[in-house]
């Protein structure tokens, strides 16, 4: 990590100022030489079990997480902000509570959140450059994490306003893939994915507005859950990115992702969307039964001519064959996507415009962001209202795959290509960036328009060792079915046994 020159001041309950330790050095300031890397942390459920059994302490786990972040920051650059002093103090308090017999689902377990998520005392840069003030209060998701006992060690890197499937920017440099540092871990939750894949933290929160949990999960060999819209609150935002964006967990196992989902799920009183509760952890322990699974290779219309890379097709075909071997009926099908992109673009660009307009120094924004801001401003209002009004018809048309055709789950590649090299999108215009990322990632974003759940599962590796993912997609409120199916696949394929060399 960087030197300890910049620090974050965080108000304590008594109103005094506490130094929370070094903030990750931003781009251009030069990292220190890498320190030895401690062993990877155990998973989320295993960490909670060891804490409850008193075979480890929260102080030890949090200190190990911070040391591992420190050692890998020069190479992976996963974090934007750390809460070192605060996290260690909270870990000591968790140890006192554990010793007194208190038990909570994540009491004392270190986790990370993406830098679009408000954590009291830290700025929410959301991948942007510039000096932003610390926020006064936690987001609802972080409030629920704390209520479950988790210790938030820091905030992970995101590309600027979450727009792209890579995590690079002038504000913080490039976040790199633990499997191959010459490649991106994906975006926009690339920092969270890199942190979990490298074992810096047992699990992390990301957000998904066009695949931003599922894409980095696919490219780092993780489980990533995009839940139903409203399952995890996005408060203080009432309807993030015009309803496209949801928060979701990234973890190495289905059980860990489900445990984190249960911990943060639930609505804020001001939330628009309030789906009925699910029991994700229970679903991860349940047999899914015999399911009818549609395998779709053709993505929605993007005008790029994109199809799956041969290595992606090979890996997802092998996963489909595994599902058939496990007793499921798998057949190829074509969802009726229609012109769903006409509903996505106004909502996505209007969302970017809404966030960009809040930045105190717009000149610091990437030129591509400023282009999206202009587009979103033009398409706001009537175009966005029309796009959102089409959602009901899109539910009926695409939902016919489940309702009329009788399928339970849709299986597609998560991305059309393996993870690109760092710098692949440098110096591209806004239009050329959009075309390039639509060609690489054409499969994920329609489910954001619909607001329905999806789960990325690891599907294997390219011949050069780069991870590939597949997504299990379902109709409204089908998280439990998708999680059960993902857990069955994991039990057979045991993807968590393979880890990157970091």
Say if residues 119 and 82 touch (Cβ distance below 8 Å): no
- Asked if 238 and 269 touch (Cβ cutoff 8 Å), the reply is no
Spatial CA neighbour of 231 closest among 262, 269, 255? 262
On the CB side of 121, CA atoms within 13 Å amount to 26
| Three-class DSSP category at 180 | strand
Helix or strand or coil: residue 286? Answer: coil
> Other C-beta atoms within 10 Å of 96: how many?
11
Give the integer Cα–Cα distance in Å for 288 and 483: 9
455: left (phi over 0), alpha (psi -120 to 50) or beta: beta
Q: Which burial class, exposed, middle or buried, applies to 479 when counting CB atoms under 10 A from its CB (0-12, 13-18, 19+)?
A: buried
CA dihedral (307, 398, 393, 352) in degrees, to 10, reads: -50
Burial profile 376-405: b = 16 or more Cβ within 10 angstroms, e = fewer: bbebbeebbeebbebbeebbeebbebbeee
- Residues known to be catalytic: 114, 188, 212
234 touches 267 (CB < 8 A): no
Closest CA relative to residue 402, chosen from 450, 442, 448? 450
CA separation for the pair 324, 475 (Å, rounded): 21
**Three-state SS across 434-453?**
HHHHHHHCCCCCHHHHHCCC
The phi-psi region of residue 124 (left if phi > 0; otherwise alpha if psi is between -120 and 50; otherwise beta) is beta
Contact assessment for residue 371 and residue 430, using Cβ atoms and an 8 Å cutoff: yes
Residues 6 or more apart whose CB falls under 8 angstroms from that of 378 comprise none
Query: Which positions ≥6 away from 244 have C-beta within 8 Å?
Result: 209, 210, 344, 347, 348, 351, 448, 449
485: CB partners within 8 A, 6+ apart = 288, 291, 323, 409, 472
Residue with tokens 């408060």: 235
């Amino acid at each position: 990590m960087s030197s300890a020159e910049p620090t974050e001041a965080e108000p304590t309950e008594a109103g005094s100022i506490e130094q929370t330790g070094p903030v990750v050095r931003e781009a251009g300031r030069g990292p220190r030489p890498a320190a030895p890397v401690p062993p990877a942390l155990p998973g989320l459920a295993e960490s909670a079990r060891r804490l409850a059994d008193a075979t480890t302490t929260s102080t030890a786990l949090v200190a190990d997480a911070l040391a591992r972040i420190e050692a890998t920051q020069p190479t992976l650059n996963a974090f934007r902000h750390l809460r070192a002093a605060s996290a260690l103090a909270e870990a000591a308090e968790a140890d006192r509570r554990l010793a007194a017999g208190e038990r909570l689902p994540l009491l004392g377990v270190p986790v990370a959140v993406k830098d679009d998520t408000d954590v009291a005392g830290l700025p929410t840069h959301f991948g942007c450059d510039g000096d932003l003030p610390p926020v006064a209060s936690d987001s609802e998701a972080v409030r629920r994490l704390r209520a479950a006992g988790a210790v938030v060690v820091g905030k992970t890197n995101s590309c600027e306003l979450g727009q792209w499937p890579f995590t690079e920017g002038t504000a913080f440099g490039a976040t790199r893939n633990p499997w191959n540092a010459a490649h991106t871990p994906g975006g926009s939750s690339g920092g969270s994915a890199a942190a979990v894949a490298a074992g810096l933290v047992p699990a992390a929160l990301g957000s998904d507005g066009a695949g931003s949990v599922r894409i980095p999960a696919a490219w780092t060999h993780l489980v990533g859950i995009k839940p139903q819209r409203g399952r995890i609150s996005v408060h203080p935002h009432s309807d993030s990115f015009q309803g496209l964006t949801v928060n979701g967990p990234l973890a190495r196992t289905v059980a860990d992702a489900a445990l984190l989902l249960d911990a943060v799920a639930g609505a804020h009183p001001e939330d628009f969307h309030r789906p009925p509760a699910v029991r994700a952890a229970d679903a991860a322990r349940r047999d899914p039964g015999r399911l009818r699974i549609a395998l779709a290779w053709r993505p929605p219309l993007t005008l790029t001519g994109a199809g799956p890379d041969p290595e992606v097709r090979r890996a997802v075909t092998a996963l489909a064959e595994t599902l058939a071997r496990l007793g499921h009926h798998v057949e190829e099908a074509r969802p009726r996507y229609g012109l769903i992109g006409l509903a996505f673009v106004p909502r996505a660009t209007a969302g970017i415009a809404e966030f960009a307009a809040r930045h105190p120094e717009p000149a610091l924004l990437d030129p591509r962001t400023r282009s999206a801001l202009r587009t979103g401003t033009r398409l706001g209002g009537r175009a966005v209202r029309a796009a959102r009004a089409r959602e009901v018809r899109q539910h009926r048309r695409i939902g016919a795959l489940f309702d009329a055709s009788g399928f339970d789950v849709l299986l597609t590649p998560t991305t059309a290509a393996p993870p690109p090299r760092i710098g692949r999108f440098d110096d591209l215009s806004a239009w050329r960036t959009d075309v390039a990322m639509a060609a690489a990632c054409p499969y994920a974003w329609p489910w954001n328009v619909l607001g329905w759940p999806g789960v990325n599962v690891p599907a294997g590796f390219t011949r050069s060792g780069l991870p590939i993912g597949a997504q299990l997609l379902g109709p409204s409120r089908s998280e439990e079915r998708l999680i059960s199916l993902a857990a069955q696949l994991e039990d057979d394929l045991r993807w968590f046994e393979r880890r990157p060399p970091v």
